[in-house]
Amino acid sequence: MHTSLKQQAIDILRMNDRGGYTVPTARLYPYQWEWDSVFAALGFATFDRDRAWVEIETLFSGQWADGMVPHIIFHKTDPDYFPGPEMWKSNTVPPSSGHSQPPVAASAMLTMMKTGGAIDRARAKALFDKLIRWHRWFHTYRDPDETGVVGIIHPWESGRDNCPDWDIGMAEVAVPEDLGDLPRRDITHVDPSERPTAEQYNRYLAIVKFGQECRWDHLEIARNGPFFMVDPCVQFALMRGDRDLAELADAFGEPGIRDEAESWLKHSKEGCETFWSEDVGGFVAKDLRSGGLSTAFTNASAMALYADAGTPDQQNRSVAEIAAILDNCSYGFPSWDPRDEQFESRRYWRGPIWSVVNYMIAIGLADKDETALAERLRADTRKAVEKSGFYEYFDPLSGEGLGGKLFTWTAAIHLAWAMGDDMLQAEGE
Ligand code: GLC
């Protein structure tokens, strides 16, 4: 069973390969998505190292002149997807969306270098300048006032698109009268009850319109755009990434860059204090316009250990919440606390589980010697895949597969974790 699932996962990556980049799944997501691609690379790295590096190299080929790596790169136009290049008007080659997504590449590149050989080191080194420029972009344009905390300008920048975390910020987004009727495609591919509502979608597009009208002037958007919130997932991915960037810099004999990354990290650790919620017992999303905090523990809150964020006491409280929430779900870790009334086990980022976030949470738990919890999370994720297949996401209570099928990142994480098993077995032999 285990071996054949591995083969199915490999087949999914090969099938979703469009030549140099992988689509998250056919039809629903027909382009290259930033964090999906980085996780795809981790999956490819278990059986085809060259292809793994090509995935990340193609991603960086879409990097903007200012350093941003966009969340979607439109290598080829596909009428099946909305909003496509004509809505974003990025004015770049290749065309892309106008904001980023969680910066997970540094960590994946370090993992690939550590598990690989001289070729992996050379490929990582060749991308290193681009990687630094992307991290600098985040610190410059997403934290223009140097608070130690980066904001996101659109819920889509979080990668956790429809989480209740964004409700406070989204409530303030005005929908322009000339927005018109939106030709949505997503609800023709999957069950509308698993997708955002029309009202939410109009607001998403209102933010895109603001960005496009100021020609993606990112300082203007951070200061005056319709939406600016702290996302624990982006903040923690960036912190872990800065830490891993420092390690890469060390390996490449770049002490200046290592110091730069370490000073970002130090400042970010201080900044985390501003989005800790005593009520929730965890780090939560925060609206940077109103100062309001979100109200429940999420899978992003659970990434605190991955970033080594917080005091020992805050970390202990986070671990206690993680354990309590896992006790409430057979297939952890949910994107919203199941003990909260807003929890919806099937709706997009309002309850379901995602393998990629589980992967990062489990690494953080293992780093903190919470080995049993880390193992449980890994086993729970595998159980969902065994039960339903490689779906985009899963119901944490029933393990039912939801959203897109034959999904790249679910397959990739399965492989990355299976490789860990193989390595453990090899060590034990
Ligand atoms: C959705 C997810 C996002 C992901 C994308 C492609 O928009 O919310 O995280 O990157 O799909 O899989």
pLDDT value at 421 more than 70: no
CA end-to-end span of the chain, whole Å? 22
Question: Residue 43 in contact with residue 408, Cβ under 8 Å?
Answer: yes
The 10 Å Cβ neighbour count of residue 26 is: 17
70 C-beta closer than 6 A to ligand 1 = no
CA angle 292, 296, 297 (to 5 degrees): 120
Question: Residue 381 in contact with residue 358, Cβ under 8 Å?
Answer: yes
φ, ψ for residue 85, nearest 5 deg: -55, -35
The 10 Å Cβ neighbour count of residue 180 is: 9
CA angle 166, 100, 354 (to 5 degrees): 60
Integer Cα distance of 160 and 354 in angstroms: 10
The 10 Å Cβ neighbour count of residue 30 is: 21
Confidence grade of residue 429 (pLDDT, cut at 50, 70, 90)? very low
Question: Residue 96 in contact with residue 73, Cβ under 8 Å?
Answer: yes
pLDDT value at 428 more than 50: no
Element housing 394 (H / E): strand 393-394
CA-wise closest residue to 111 among 62, 43, 57: 43
Confidence grade of residue 248 (pLDDT, cut at 50, 70, 90)? very high
161 as an active site residue: the answer is: yes
Measured in angstroms, how far is the CA atom of residue 14 from the centroid of ligand 1? 19
Measured in angstroms, how far is the CA atom of residue 159 from the centroid of ligand 1? 6
Q: In this structure, what token pair is assigned to residue 343?
A: 């929890």
Half-sphere exposure in the Cβ direction for 257 (13 Å, CA): 21
Q: Is 223 exposed, middle or buried (0-12, 13-18, 19+ CB in 10 A)?
A: exposed
Confidence grade of residue 81 (pLDDT, cut at 50, 70, 90)? confident
Q: Which of 190-199, 229-238, 410-419 has the lowest mean pLDDT?
A: 190-199
391 C-beta closer than 6 A to ligand 1 = no
Q: What is the mean pLDDT of the chain?
A: 94
Question: Residue 28 in contact with residue 190, Cβ under 8 Å?
Answer: yes
Measured in angstroms, how far is the CA atom of residue 101 from the centroid of ligand 1? 9
Q: What percentage of the chain has pLDDT greater than the value 90? A: 88
CA-wise closest residue to 362 among 318, 302, 418, 415: 302
Residue carrying the six token digits 């799944």:
25
The residues facing 72 across adjacent strands are 33
Task: Tell me the pLDDT tens digit for each residue of 306-362.
Answer: 999 999 999 999 999 999 999 999 998 999 999 999 999 999 999 999 999 999 999
Task: Tell me the pLDDT tens digit for each residue of 108-163.
Answer: 999 999 999 999 999 999 999 999 999 999 999 999 999 999 999 999 999 999 99
Integer Cα distance of 263 and 68 in angstroms: 20
Task: Give pLDDT, residue 1.
Answer: 45
Provide the whole-model pTM. 0.96
pLDDT value at 181 more than 50: yes
Residues 6 or more apart whose CB falls under 8 angstroms from that of 280 comprise 293, 294, 295, 296, 297, 301, 321
Integer Cα distance of 396 and 359 in angstroms: 15
The residues facing 29 across adjacent strands are 25
Query: What value does the mean pLDDT take over residues 407-411?
Result: 98
Task: Tell me the pLDDT tens digit for each residue of 6-23.
Answer: 999 999 999 999 999 999
pLDDT value at 386 more than 50: yes
**Closest-lying ligand 1 atom to the alpha carbon of residue 35:** 10
2-418, CATH topology level? Glycosyltransferase (1.50.10)
Q: Could you give the 3-state DSSP secondary structure of residue 334? A: strand
Confidence grade of residue 237 (pLDDT, cut at 50, 70, 90)? very high
Integer Cα distance of 104 and 188 in angstroms: 30
Task: Give pLDDT, residue 205.
Answer: 94
348 C-beta closer than 6 A to ligand 1 = no
Task: Tell me the pLDDT tens digit for each residue of 91-115.
Answer: 999 999 999 999 999 999 999 999 9
DSSP letters for 202-257: HHHHHHHHHHHHTTT-HHHHHHHSS--EE-HHHHHHHHHHHHHHHHHHHHTT-HHH
Element housing 72 (H / E): strand 72-73
Q: Is 324 exposed, middle or buried (0-12, 13-18, 19+ CB in 10 A)?
A: middle
Integer Cα distance of 403 and 351 in angstroms: 13
pLDDT value at 201 more than 90: no
Kindly list the domain boundaries of the chain, sorted by start residue. Answer: 2-418
Task: Give pLDDT, residue 424.
Answer: 47
Query: What value does the mean pLDDT take over residues 55-68?
Result: 98
CA angle 59, 240, 308 (to 5 degrees): 160
* Among 82, 97, 161, 298, residue to substitute to test ligand 1 (most atoms within 8 Å of Cβ): 161
Q: What is the largest CA-CA distance in the chain?
A: 67
**Closest-lying ligand 1 atom to the alpha carbon of residue 159:** 9
Confidence grade of residue 425 (pLDDT, cut at 50, 70, 90)? low
Q: Please name the residue whose Cα sits nearest to atom 12 of ligand 1.
A: 24
**Closest-lying ligand 1 atom to the alpha carbon of residue 161:** 8
